[in-house]
């Protein structure tokens, strides 16, 4: 899977970090926070109330970190405006698009600036805007050393709606292709007057006022400290072990998933859970939490196809085949060797906030111990076992089962990544993990037990635990 970041899809760590390092700065006008001030200050012009600004920040953070679309953000914008009765300038659709595009592109470019430090040369590329700026077209193909002063004022984005990009060129590529640097353009300056303050600023021609700066992590703290006098605490995005997830229900989403994983990190499950987290992060595996009707392939499925496609990086039609199934009833979760994501079925009643981690782990331990002596509740083929580890708290459709099912499905992805190794034994602790029925399900089931209760699994199956220990990478998964 490509590792390069794409604006409008799943972001990269530097992009998320840039946005989350900002302070909230209430402003009356977009020019109140000038040039470099936007590097460490988040503002929505005219949004002076702290709670209002926090809600906008929460929405922008979700858009950046979860790869949400403009359509989703417009809905959130309208909900926030209605909640506070905020009177804004311009039409709602236009205003939402400006906020979305500017924050997405500038955070993207800030992350790119950090990544581009490894390259000796940078190349300017025009971004194919509908109404291209003449000078931006002229700058297309400019190739300069990264240290050239021109980049200090011309690093993209260079105006409202500007889609220009900067690409890196290594020294080896520069020499191999016989490239030569171009001359740094000198297009002059123009005066721009801030109508609110009467101040006159000199701005490079071809660049919108306020965009003649590199969107990096430098600060303009003096002006921010004078403006940032909040009464409400600044919105703090929750720690994310898992970078993203798409969900159609409020109770099971990326924040809820990360909250329960954070709790698990405080238990003996932490080392194995961290291995799984490293796998998801390094291989960019994604998650869909969707309802049964949305898996069916009908109107409910079609209604979310564009959003899912945006998240997964496909068009709407291509996306449909990656979360729909014809068979009934729909499974609690599924994935495929051809996917880079997992699908977990959820309902509007599910809430990850109700998951009791201690009960989950004790339930897993109980299923392990009863499976080892064949003392489970369900007799099938002369074996008394539990059906699956997703029943850890008594019901394979309850809140906790969503977490366990997610680990199970990610276990499949781990199995695929490892090349589908066969089980080291024909024994099994749950009926669903019977290798005679499916070696893939054996792996996913017992991987779940390994992640959540390795110590207890080792007590009954030391050879299997040793097999997992040796099989799973110690120093990263690669891409």
In a shared domain, residues 180 and 254: no
Clarify whether residues 174 and 266 are in a common domain.
no
Place of tokens 């595009």: 101
**Omega prior to 388 cis, within 30 of 0:** no
Residues 169, 273 within the same domain: no
Together in a domain, 194 and 109 = yes
In a domain, 3, yes or no: no
CB-count burial class (<10 Å; 0-12, 13-18, 19+) for 337: exposed
d(CA 306, CA 346): 19
Residues 272 and 397 reside in one and the same domain: yes
Structural domain contains residue 122 = yes
Q: Give the Cα separation of 357 and 363 in Å (integer).
A: 10
Shared domain check, 161 and 38:
yes
Q: Do 124 and 213 share a structural domain? A: yes
Number of compact structural domains in the chain: 2
For 24, list phi and psi in degrees, rounded to 5: -80, 130
Per-residue pLDDT, 461: 95
Q: What is the pLDDT of residue 108?
A: 67
Looking at the fold, whether 154 and 293 belong to one and the same domain comes out as no
User: Both 165 and 306 in a single domain?
Assistant: no
Say what the pLDDT of residue 156 is: 80
Q: How many Å from the N-terminal Cα to the C-terminal Cα in the chain?
A: 7
Enter the tokens of residue 121: 């040369």
Q: Do residues 215 and 250 share a domain? A: no
Q: Does 18 fall in a domain?
A: yes
**Domain end among 181, 203, 219:** 219
| 450 assigned to some structural domain | yes
Whether residues 421 and 464 fall in one domain = yes
C-alpha to C-alpha distance for 378 and 374, rounded to whole angstroms? 10
Which of 203, 219, 235 corresponds to the end of one domain? 219
Q: Assess if residue 229 is contained within a domain.
A: no
- How many Cα atoms occupy the beta-carbon half-sphere of 159 within 13 Å? 18
Interacting residues of 173 by C-beta distance below 8 A, sequence separation 6+: 179
Cβ–Cβ under 8 Å, residues 342 and 290: no
pTM over 0.75: no
- Residue 2 within a domain: no
173 and 286 part of one domain: no
pLDDT given for residue 479 in this prediction: 53
Give CA angle at 370 (368, 376), nearest 5°.
Answer: 120
Structural domain of residue 58, as residue ranges?
Answer: 13-219
Query: How far is the C-alpha of 252 from the C-alpha of 351, rounded, in Å?
Result: 6
Is 162 part of a structural domain of the chain? yes
Instruction: Show pLDDT as tens, one digit a residue, over the chain (479 residues).
Output: 322 233 333 344 555 555 555 544 444 444 443 333 343 344 444 444 566 777 777 787 777 766 678 888 899 888 888 887 877 666 888 878 877 877 776 676 666 777 788 889 999 999 766 678 899 999 999 999 999 989 888 888 777 777 888 888 999 999 999 999 999 999 998 887 766 667 777 788 988 876 654 444 343 344 444 444 444 455 556 678 998 899 999 899 888 999 999 999 999 999 999 999 999 999 989 999 999 999 999 999 999 998 898 888 888 899 999 999 987 778 999 999 999 999 999 999 999 999 999 999 999 999 999 999 999 999 999 999 999 999 999 888 999 999 999 999 999 999 999 999 999 999 999 999 999 999 999 999 999 999 999 999 999 999 999 999 999 987 666 55
Residue 476 inside a domain? The answer is no
| pLDDT at residue 143, rounded to an integer | 96
């Amino acid at each position: 899977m490509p590792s390069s970041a794409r604006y409008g899809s799943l972001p990269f760590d530097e992009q998320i970090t840039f946005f989350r390092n900002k302070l909230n700065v209430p402003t009356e006008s977009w020019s109140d926070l000038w040039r470099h001030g936007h590097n460490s200050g988040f503002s929505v012009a005219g949004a002076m109330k702290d709670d209002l600004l926090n809600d906008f920040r929460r929405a922008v953070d979700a858009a950046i970190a979860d790869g949400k679309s403009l359509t989703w953000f417009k809905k959130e914008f309208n909900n926030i405006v209605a909640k506070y009765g905020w009177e804004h300038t311009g039409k709602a659709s236009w205003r939402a698009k400006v906020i979305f595009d500017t924050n997405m592109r500038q955070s993207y470019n800030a992350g790119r600036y950090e990544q581009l430090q490894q390259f000796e040369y940078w190349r300017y590329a025009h971004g194919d805007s509908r109404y291209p700026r003449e000078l931006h077209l002229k700058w297309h193909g400019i190739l300069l050393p990264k240290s050239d002063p021109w980049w200090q004022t011309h690093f993209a984005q260079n105006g409202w709606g500007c889609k220009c990009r900067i690409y890196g060129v290594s020294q080896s590529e520069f020499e191999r292709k016989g490239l030569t640097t171009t001359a740094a353009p000198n297009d002059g300056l123009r005066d721009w007057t801030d109508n609110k303050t009467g101040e006159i600023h000199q701005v490079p021609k071809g660049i919108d006022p306020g965009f003649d700066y590199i969107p990096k992590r430098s600060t303009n703290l003096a002006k921010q400290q004078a403006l940032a006098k909040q009464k409400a605490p600044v919105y703090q995005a929750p720690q994310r072990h898992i970078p993203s997830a798409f969900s159609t229900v409020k109770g099971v989403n990326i924040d809820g998933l990360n909250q329960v994983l954070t709790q698990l990190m405080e238990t003996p499950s932490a080392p194995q859970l961290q291995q799984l987290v490293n796998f998801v992060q390094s291989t960019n595996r994604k998650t869909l939490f969707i309802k049964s009707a949305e898996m069916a392939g009908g109107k409910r499925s079609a209604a979310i196809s564009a959003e899912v496609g945006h998240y997964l990086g496909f068009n709407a039609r291509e996306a449909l085949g990656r979360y729909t199934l014809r068979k009934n009833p729909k499974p609690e979760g599924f994935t495929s060797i051809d996917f880079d994501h997992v699908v977990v079925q959820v309902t509007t009643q599910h809430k990850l906030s109700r998951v009791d981690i201690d009960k989950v782990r004790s339930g897993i331990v109980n299923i392990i111990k009863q499976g080892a002596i064949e003392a489970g509740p369900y007799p099938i083929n002369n074996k008394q076992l539990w059906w699956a580890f997703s029943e850890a708290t008594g019901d394979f459709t309850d809140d906790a089962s969503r977490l366990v099912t997610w680990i199970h499905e990610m276990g499949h992805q781990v199995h695929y990544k490892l090349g589908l190794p066969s089980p080291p034994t024909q024994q099994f602790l749950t009926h669903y993990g019977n290798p005679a029925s499916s070696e893939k399900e054996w792996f996913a089931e017992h991987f779940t037990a390994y992640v959540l209760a390795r110590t207890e699994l080792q007590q009954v199956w030391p050879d299997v635990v040793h097999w997992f220990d040796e099989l799973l990478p110690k120093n990263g998964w690669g891409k």
